[in-house]
Structure 1
Amino acid sequence: MASPSQELPKTHRALILSSTSEPPKIKDVPAPQPGPGSVVVHMLSANILSYQKSIYNGERKYPFPTPLTTGMGGIGRIAAIGPDTLTLSPGQLVFVDCFVRGRDDPNSAFLLGIHEGHTEGSRKLMHGEWRDGSFAEYVKIPLECAYPLNEELLMGKLGYGVEELGEIARDLIPFGGLSDISIRPGETIIIAPATGPFGMAAVKVALAMGTRVIAMGRNLSILQRLQASHERVEIVQITGDEQADLEKVKGFGTIDAYFDISPPVAGTSTHFKSCMLALRHGGRISLMGGLNIDLAIPHAIVMHRDLLLKGKWMYDRQNVLDLIKMVEIGLLKMGSKAGQEYVKFPMDEWKEAFDAAEGFSGSNRSAVLVP
């Protein structure tokens, strides 16, 4: 429990989902209390996915227990600490990571407030101790999911707002896949599709890692905006003509790697094969998309060219630490410095916030909830 110097309110406001057949509601519920291995964070800014609404109305059919405090990660301040907390202290600014791994089984992983994961262990964790997300005034999270941020540097010297720092969460996902295939400065990588929120983040992160990017997608206007906003970006519109798109990509010379973060509906897209066929001998492929069907792989090309194909779900703890360092030294820009605008919504306007987030997809605007 919290010490007298860390008193928490008896209740707090949270956006609770009781069933996917009815919308969530703001309720006054008992405030979380810290225990061993946990901290309680006062949320300052909570991230909203572009498809947040389709998660909680059941359209995406994500598995999770109900009732559930909705939300995922964001930025907040430590409100109370458990008895075994050594370095964090009340008032400290932290990044709240929604990707939780089992301490005695790191393969059991789930997304706080979104998805119960793929193992019995991950389901046990989300159905039990770690049931609630961050669309609330306070959230209890595992100690290792609270990453300290250098407030003096990030908000003082660099001038970031808390909502801009929340961009760390989105950038982390492609950073996990790019790191997993050992992207190196000077290499050329295909990002496809590069026109959604995570694809656009992948372009930004890959550039910060020192690469040249070939951005692919169907929306030409978004591709052109990416090219105008960044150096070292080439663009190829996906036309559905596998051979024609391949020739356009090959026209840019040696291609070292291919990063894919396709949405569920893209499983039959021609770009997968075009991108794989464009890779040099020994090229690498990272698959991070959420396809709802199996993908056809050009087996002979993968084998004879010694291609490395890896899947990656989210990222590792070291990726989080590394990416925060990139932000702190100014290598990876956030928010307005990266051309991104954040629109803040109070928790009472969560419906408007979800709608705005959906409408902002593919743009340079993002919605955040301010509990």
Structure 2
Amino acid sequence: MATSIDLPEKMKALVLRSTHEPPSVETIPTPQPTVGSAIVRVLVANTISYMRDIYNGKRRYPFPTPLVTGTSFIGRVAAVGPDATKIKPGDLVVVDIMIRSRDEPTDAFLAGVIQGFTEGSAKLMRDVYRDWSYAEYCRAPLENLTLLNERRLTGAKQDGGLGYSLSQLAVSSAHMVPYGGLRDIGLQAGQTVVIAPATGAFGGAAVNVALAMGARVIAMGRSKDSLAFLKSKIPHPERVETVPITGDMMADCKELKKYGPIDAYFDIGPPEAHASTHIKSCIIALRHGARISIMGGYREDIAIPHSFIMHSNIRIYGKWMYERQDIYDLFKLVESGLLDLSVAEVTGEYPLEEWKAAWDDAAENARFGQIALIKP
């Protein structure tokens, strides 16, 4: 038998029936726990800057419909399946959207967002975990729940806590992604990493994570004002250098080299930046034997300086999202006080019925630390 808090028969959810029409709040059956899953009461769900473009079809992400939309979220466990041995009702958890098949981990998808790139991942989203977190309750795989040390994270500072609100904890989802890439290339304390572009939500989070890992950061971006804003918000600004992307590849490379030797380059550019000069500038500025993490959202191929990469023994790593262990370890950085989530600037908190205002807010306020939240 599953262990649970009393679940209502029905719940509210934001349902998308087609990318040709807006979603609507509907009353649907509350999900029930199964073997390998838990039901989580959604407390605070994130938005991302391009949320509108996902669900209006502009980004052309494949996913089944009808779909209960959503992102990663902070929630409280309401029920667990019979095989749960640690997670229990009442636990505070972060639930991330990277779902992997248990018998073929390369079949992976982002719950509520995209069905992945294999037949197996499409089947898993379509038939098992189609509905997600823009709802009062969400059914998620047990392995997607990371148990949070509630006393440490949200407790009062005079009692040994860090004093975070649940809304501040929600900004952790933007940090999970770059942490996966930075861990993948083995970034170490004392090393120098160039992060580009660094002024958006994920790029800025990459700067914050790299600093927490003990690295020195060179942050690149097209706007000097945005770079100055990032440096004013980030902890340990003394370990951050900023270099504007001017479009002059060699001049930018020369500027980067002033802060060398550079051990690593982390790229998280948006789709429209696939032809940006910063990619080659950053690569050519690297030291011999450096590493590159490619996590950008490019839909087109990018040009790389083949000869330089070959003769400099540069290693290039691709990373989609993160591994399970990365989330656990990320929160250890938070609990230790090394990773500061107080940089979060909550631009708005919205009920399900105000989903459009939430998505507009997210699109208009997409700088580092800014986050619009949905509270079902």
The interval holding the TM-score normalised by the smaller chain is over 0.9
Q: CA RMSD in A?
A: 1.1
Q: How many residues align?
A: 368
Corresponding residue for residue 172 of structure 1: 176
One of 292, 301, 310 as aligned partner of 1:303: 310
TM-score by length of 2: 0.96
Is 2:202 the partner of 1:203? no
Is 2:104 the partner of 1:97? no
8 Å contact kept, 1:164–1:342: no
Corresponding residue for residue 131 of structure 1: 130
One of 238, 245, 249 as aligned partner of 1:242: 249
The superposition leaves residues 317-344 of structure 1 with CA deviations (integer Å, 9 ceiling, x where unpaired) of 111110011111111011xx22533521
Aligned-partner Cα distance in 1 for 2:18–2:60: 12
Residues 1:339 and 1:108: Cα distance change in structure 2 (over 3 Å):
closer
Corresponding residue for residue 162 of structure 1: 166
Is 2:283 the partner of 1:276? yes
1:253 shift after superposition? 2.2
Corresponding residue for residue 274 of structure 2: 267
Corresponding residue for residue 223 of structure 1: 227
SS state at 1:338 partner: coil
Corresponding residue for residue 192 of structure 1: 196
Is 2:185 the partner of 1:181? yes
Matches within 5 A, 1:1-371: 2=2, 6-156=5-155, 157-229=161-233, 230-334=237-341, 337-338=342-343, 340-362=345-367, 364-371=369-376
8 Å contact kept, 1:47–1:368: yes
Amino acid corresponding to residue 370 of structure 1 in structure 2 = K
Aligned-partner Cα distance in 1 for 2:129–2:200: 29
Aligned-partner Cα distance in 1 for 2:312–2:324: 32
Residues 1:210 and 1:304: Cα distance change in structure 2 (over 3 Å):
same
Give 4+ residue runs of structure 1 displaced > 4 Å after superposition: none
Aligned-partner Cα distance in 2 for 1:284–1:326: 23
The superposition leaves residues 7-60 of structure 1 with CA deviations (integer Å, 9 ceiling, x where unpaired) of 211110000000000000000001000010000000000010111111000011
Aligned-partner Cα distance in 2 for 1:52–1:331: 30
Aligned-partner Cα distance in 2 for 1:88–1:267: 42
8 Å contact kept, 1:176–1:319: yes
TM-score by length of 1: 0.97
Q: Percent of pairs identical after alignment?
A: 52
Stretches of structure 2 that go unaligned for 5 or more consecutive residues are 156-160
Amino acid corresponding to residue 49 of structure 1 in structure 2 = I
Aligned-partner Cα distance in 1 for 2:332–2:267: 25
8 Å contact kept, 2:33–2:79: yes
The superposition leaves residues 279-309 of structure 1 with CA deviations (integer Å, 9 ceiling, x where unpaired) of 0000000000011110111110110000010
Aligned-partner Cα distance in 1 for 2:207–2:93: 25
1:277 shift after superposition? 0.2
Amino acid corresponding to residue 127 of structure 1 in structure 2 = R
Residues 1:61 and 1:287: Cα distance change in structure 2 (over 3 Å):
same
Corresponding residue for residue 158 of structure 2: none
Aligned-partner Cα distance in 2 for 1:364–1:109: 27
8 Å contact kept, 1:343–1:365: no
1:110 shift after superposition? 0.5
8 Å contact kept, 1:80–1:90: yes
The superposition leaves residues 217-247 of structure 1 with CA deviations (integer Å, 9 ceiling, x where unpaired) of 1011010122233231111111111111111
8 Å contact kept, 1:163–1:342: no
Amino acid corresponding to residue 321 of structure 1 in structure 2 = Y
The superposition leaves residues 246-291 of structure 1 with CA deviations (integer Å, 9 ceiling, x where unpaired) of 1110111211100000000011111111100000000000000011
1:191 shift after superposition? 0.2
Amino acid corresponding to residue 65 of structure 1 in structure 2 = P
8 Å contact kept, 2:112–2:130: yes
Aligned-partner Cα distance in 2 for 1:107–1:67: 25
SS state at 2:287 partner: coil
Residues 1:339 and 1:103: Cα distance change in structure 2 (over 3 Å):
closer
Aligned-partner Cα distance in 1 for 2:282–2:260: 13
